[in-house]
Structure 1
Amino acid sequence: MNTRADADMPFYFGPDRTLFGLFHACGTPARKAVLLCPPLGQDLIRCHRLYRQLAQALAAEGVAALRFDYYGTGDSAGNSVDMDWQRCLADTAAAANELRTRSGIDRVFAFGARLGGSIALASAAQARFAGVVAWDPVLDGRAYVTRLDAMQSALCLDGQRFMVPRNAADAAAQWLGFAISDSFRQQVMDLHVDRPTVPTLLLDSLSSDAPQPWGSFVADAAAVKCVQPATPWNDPRRLEVAILSHPLIQAVTRHVQEAA
């Protein structure tokens, strides 16, 4: 049995032990378990502290949690140019099984922000999730890529960051400092997340003037809860600012506690 002394325990797992994870155990036998599916790129960096705080909050309530990095991201093996959408889904399923083994809990829930929410939703069947909490998930890949390209262009011309504007060609294969492959770019552009087949809570913190994409997505299995304040995902001026939301942590923790 894992004890509180094992909290924040780092390890490698998955194919050839190439995936990095951090297991947050409980002081008592876990009642539930949550897999924290990270976003990608700058969103991953900006949400790092929030994910850690969320994992600690869940563990304090008797819910085991696992944070991990997909292949090509974070502390897992590979580089950002090695990112692959199908590999992200497979890594998520592997992480869910790892969490089952370490926690002793078979019913695993998932949480994910932005593309992490999209991955949690898209891998729900493969990972056998009992439910998903998705925070501002990306549902329209083409629109998301358009926004990233626009932010990348604005970044190259930002006089606050660069004394001389960067050549657009030099940063053409990047998204906000992360090198990407043409194949991954196309995979994200083609992204279309089907309606959820497991109980799903969508946490909406998009600004009031942003398009609200949930209407065609919400079905019997999904519900939407607004979280304030709005999250500045697409504001180039705040790329270096960590994203923290205590209302978000409270909403996720409460939802998992109350889930049947």
Structure 2
Amino acid sequence: MAEPAYPPSTAVLLCPPLGQDLIRSHRLYRQLAHMFVRRGLAVMRFDYYGSGDSCGDADQTTLARCVDDALVAAGELRQRSRCRRLLAFGARLGGSVALQAHDRQPFDALMLCDPILDGVAHRAQLEALHAEMLADTRRFARPRTAAEGAGQWLGFPHGEQFGDELAAMHLSVPPAALLLDSAHVFPRAGNIVALDEPLGWDDLDRLEVAIQSHELIARVQRHMETLQ
């Protein structure tokens, strides 16, 4: 957890995405954390069980446990920072986790970037991208078979429960939440803000390219000013 030099009144929990999205957005989350600390806020970045630097294997990760981990992290952040307000940011499945955690123990504000709301569509997209990647001879000397890539999405193992949870996931965004839309798939309403530059989460040609967006950070910073 990063803390400012004096006790903050507001803290921010950064809920990470999963799989390839986690790797690609690592720098973005680090930049956001530094921006929040410069504004005098306490910030916590963390990894879910089976993801990132946490214990466990990737195929043991479940959405239910990710939500539980986010709630534990939120409680730890509240206790350590003694904040009066707790905000949450999440991109992609990190946004999905933040939304489900919010349903159980509401945050004072939500900031979401391209959150996954339709789990069925996201699962189908992952499977399509994975099949396309296996056939890509720019990455492999020969196309990989479906059997060679079984149980993975874009190089990351996943468990059966995780796939089932995606198939059952249908979420909605509270009207007061900031929703940053880089793919321009959400209607322009309320706090839904279209980013000028697509982040390319589902662009196979950018699979190894870090997600960076000065515009996103500026939008989040501008939104923070409205909350004070």
TM-score by length of 1: 0.84
Does the residue aligned with 2:191 lie in a helix, a strand or coil?
strand
Deviations 1:115-136 (A, max 9, x none): 1011111110323311101101
* 1:189 and 2:147 aligned: no
Higher relative contact order (CA 8 A, sep 6+): 2
5+ residue gaps, structure 1: 1-22
* 1:241 and 2:209 aligned: yes
Structure 1 stretches of 4+ moved >3 Å:
none
Identity across aligned pairs (percent)?
A: 45
Residue 214 of structure 1, CA deviation: 5.0
- 2:11–2:81 CA contact under 8 A, matched in 1: yes
| Structure 2 equivalent of residue 91 of structure 1 | 69
| Structure 1 equivalent of residue 106 of structure 2 | 128
Which of 24, 29, 35 pairs up with 2:13? 35
CA distance in 2, matches of 1:136, 1:195: 11
| Structure 2 equivalent of residue 115 of structure 1 | 93
Which of 207, 219, 225 pairs up with 1:257? 225
Residue 137 of structure 1, CA deviation: 0.5
Deviations 1:34-64 (A, max 9, x none): 1000001000000001100100010001111
CA distance in 2, matches of 1:230, 1:137: 14
Q: Which amino acid aligns with 1:253?
A: Q
Q: Which amino acid aligns with 1:190?
A: A
| Structure 2 equivalent of residue 12 of structure 1 | none
CA gap 1:213/1:228 in 2 versus in 1, 3 angstroms: closer
CA gap 1:106/1:127 in 2 versus in 1, 3 angstroms: farther
CA distance in 2, matches of 1:255, 1:97: 24
Residue 190 of structure 1, CA deviation: 1.4
CA distance in 1, matches of 2:163, 2:186: 21
| Structure 2 equivalent of residue 229 of structure 1 | 197
Q: Which amino acid aligns with 1:44?
A: L
CA gap 1:214/1:137 in 2 versus in 1, 3 angstroms: farther
| Structure 2 equivalent of residue 65 of structure 1 | 43
CA distance in 1, matches of 2:162, 2:226: 37
Deviations 1:68-127 (A, max 9, x none): 001110011111111111111111111111111121104210000011011111110323
Does the residue aligned with 1:144 lie in a helix, a strand or coil?
helix
- 1:38–1:113 CA contact under 8 A, matched in 2: yes
- 1:108–1:128 CA contact under 8 A, matched in 2: no
Does the residue aligned with 1:169 lie in a helix, a strand or coil?
coil
* 1:164 and 2:142 aligned: yes
- 1:205–1:226 CA contact under 8 A, matched in 2: yes
- 2:9–2:85 CA contact under 8 A, matched in 1: no
CA gap 1:152/1:252 in 2 versus in 1, 3 angstroms: same
- 1:50–1:243 CA contact under 8 A, matched in 2: yes
Deviations 1:235-257 (A, max 9, x none): 11111000000111111122123
- 1:40–1:116 CA contact under 8 A, matched in 2: yes
| Structure 2 equivalent of residue 179 of structure 1 | 157
Does the residue aligned with 1:66 lie in a helix, a strand or coil?
strand
| Structure 2 equivalent of residue 154 of structure 1 | 132
Residue 157 of structure 1, CA deviation: 0.7
What RMSD in Å do the two structures reach over aligned CA positions?
Answer: 1.5
CA gap 1:33/1:187 in 2 versus in 1, 3 angstroms: same
CA gap 1:185/1:203 in 2 versus in 1, 3 angstroms: same
